[in-house]
Amino acid sequence: MKLHVSSSDWLNGTVTVPPSKSYTHRAVIIASLAQGSSTLYNPLLSEDTIASIEACRKIGAQIEVSDDLIQVKGVFGVPKTPRESIDVKNSGTTLRVMTPVCSLCSEKVTLTGDASIRERPMQPLLDALEQLGVQTSSANGKAPVSVQGPLAGGRCQIVGDISSQFISGLLIACAMARNETSIDLVTPLKSQPYVDLTLDVVEKFGGQVEKGTNAFRVPGSQIYRGINYVVEGDYSSAAFLMVAAALLESDVTVTNINVNSKQGDRRIIDILRAMGVNIQVREDSVNVRGAGELDGIQIDLGDSPDLLPIIAVIGALANGKTLIKNVGHLRYKESDRLKAITTELNKMGAHVKEGNDFLEIKGVESLKGTHLSGWGDHRIVMALAIAALRAKGETVISHAETIPVSFPGFDKAMKTLGANMELKE
């Protein structure tokens, strides 16, 4: 599948941002561990979240899905051992959260995924689980991984600078462990807002976690309780819409936005303002009036890593220089996102320099359309599509079939606003 994009002069209209992928993952998994039934309203039904739904079904949760809600009957803290391995497809969140959850089973459970997933580091999480009484095995510290519990609790140490998903998985599962668990971080935590988001959902379902300085204490033998839960809109997806509006003459309103969200990518509003964009924040929406003129900035995206591809696009078309720092952990996503976005933007005539954990970008007035690789990564594909709106000539981006991982209907949303964008076989 390829995405064909031509330059657009303007964008106008109102578009609803999809529900949060991060919140949907966590709500489905915690509801599946809970006592009783939960109804999750306005969930994101994407390839990634469906992977979590299928994984939870395999551990015994009863889940019914419709267009605008998910009904879950939980396993009361006692997941069943799946009869076969769990395939998480392309979902890193599913792999890294469900591995500790499956450690609650007393028999061996194997989790695997696609080629990209089988390149993601897992050894730090497996080492932490071993310290908590779990038997683990893996293919060179990567998926497929096998775990055999029961997860007993105790004390573990783990790095915080490879993936916050390790920490989120431990926090969710260790509440079900027999004993109290202490989780000590031996390196600073990257992507802190994603852990805060996990703690928010844990609390909503009745769980308790004590957060200290570089440490967490999780009381054992807890019970999550089924609830009615509304999933808020996704700032990671909203960022693509807002940036598109900022790069062109536009008047765009993005709805389904929680202005008080704990999502780290809420920073996109402050970032665009710092670059000179006219943004008005309302009760549940954001209005962007773009003029195509932006100023380069220096920014640390250590806690908002999903914004890197689209911020690189802004920097490529902004006045002056943009420096994006503290993003080395983005080499372990669906693609090496630093290398991917650098390579493809430079094909379009941008001036992007890649460092070990930074991107240095010198802005240009416009880009040129060409054939680009999406690197099998939904966020790279969508970021390049936004860049192509300011490119001369047509741009064709491969791997567009990955877009539904996080933003089903992305191309339709952009076309609604007036973008020249078409998905083709």
Q: Check pLDDT > 90 for residue 95.
A: yes
Degrees, nearest 5: CA angle 150-56-183: 45
Mind spelling out the 3-state secondary structure of the chain?
CEEEEECCCEEEEEEECCECHHHHHHHHHHHHHCECEEEEECCCCCHHHHHHHHHHHHCCCEEEECCCEEEEECCCCCCCCCCCCEECCCCHHHHHHHHHHHCCCCCCEEEECCCCHHHCCCHHHHHHHHHCCCEEEEECCEEEEEEECCCCCEEEEECCCCCHHHHHHHHHHHCCCCCCEEEEECCCCCCHHHHHHHHHHHHHCCCCCEEECCEEEECCCCCCECCEEECCECHHHHHHHHHHHHHCEEEEEEECCCCCCCCHHHHHHHHHHHCCCEEEECCCEEEEECECCCECCEEECCCCHHHHHHHHHHHHHCECEEEEECCHHHHHCCCCHHHHHHHHHHHCCCEEEECCCEEEEECCCCEECCEECCCCCHHHHHHHHHHHCCEECCEEECCHHHHHHCCCCHHHHHHHCCCEEEEEC
Catalytically annotated residue among 234, 303, 306, 377: 306
What integer pLDDT is reported at residue 333 of this predicted model?
86
Average pLDDT over residues 372-391: 97
Q: Is 184 a catalytic residue?
A: no
What whole-number percentage of the chain has pLDDT above 70? Answer: 100
CATH class for the region spanning 2-18+233-424: alpha beta
Average pLDDT over residues 224-238: 97
Q: Check pLDDT > 90 for residue 12.
A: yes
What integer pLDDT is reported at residue 100 of this predicted model?
98
Average pLDDT over residues 7-25: 96
Read off the pLDDT band of 218 (50, 70, 90): very high
Average pLDDT over residues 25-40: 98
pLDDT digits (tens, 9 = 90+) for 248-293: 999 999 999 998 999 999 999 999 999 999 999 998 999 999 998 8
Q: Check pLDDT > 90 for residue 16.
A: yes
Q: Check pLDDT > 90 for residue 240.
A: yes
Show Cβ contacts of residue 109 under 8 Å, excluding neighbours closer than 6 positions: 81, 82, 85, 86, 102, 103, 146, 147, 148
What integer pLDDT is reported at residue 377 of this predicted model?
95
Average pLDDT over residues 77-85: 95
What integer pLDDT is reported at residue 332 of this predicted model?
81
What whole-number percentage of the chain has pLDDT above 90? Answer: 94
CA dist 144 and 224 (Å) reads: 29
What integer pLDDT is reported at residue 150 of this predicted model?
94
Choice among 72-76, 205-209, 306-310, 405-409 with the minimum mean pLDDT: 405-409
- The reply to whether 21-230 shares the fold of 2-18+233-424 is yes
What integer pLDDT is reported at residue 334 of this predicted model?
87
Using omega within 30 degrees of 0 as the cis cutoff, is the peptide bond preceding 144 cis?
yes
What integer pLDDT is reported at residue 241 of this predicted model?
98
What are the domain boundaries of the chain?
Answer: 2-18+233-424, 21-230
Assign domain 21-230 one CATH number from 3.65.10.10, 2.60.40.2580, 1.10.1510.10, 3.40.630.10.
3.65.10.10
CA dist 285 and 314 (Å) reads: 22
pLDDT digits (tens, 9 = 90+) for 295-335: 999 999 999 999 999 999 999 999 999 999 999 988 888 89
What integer pLDDT is reported at residue 244 of this predicted model?
97
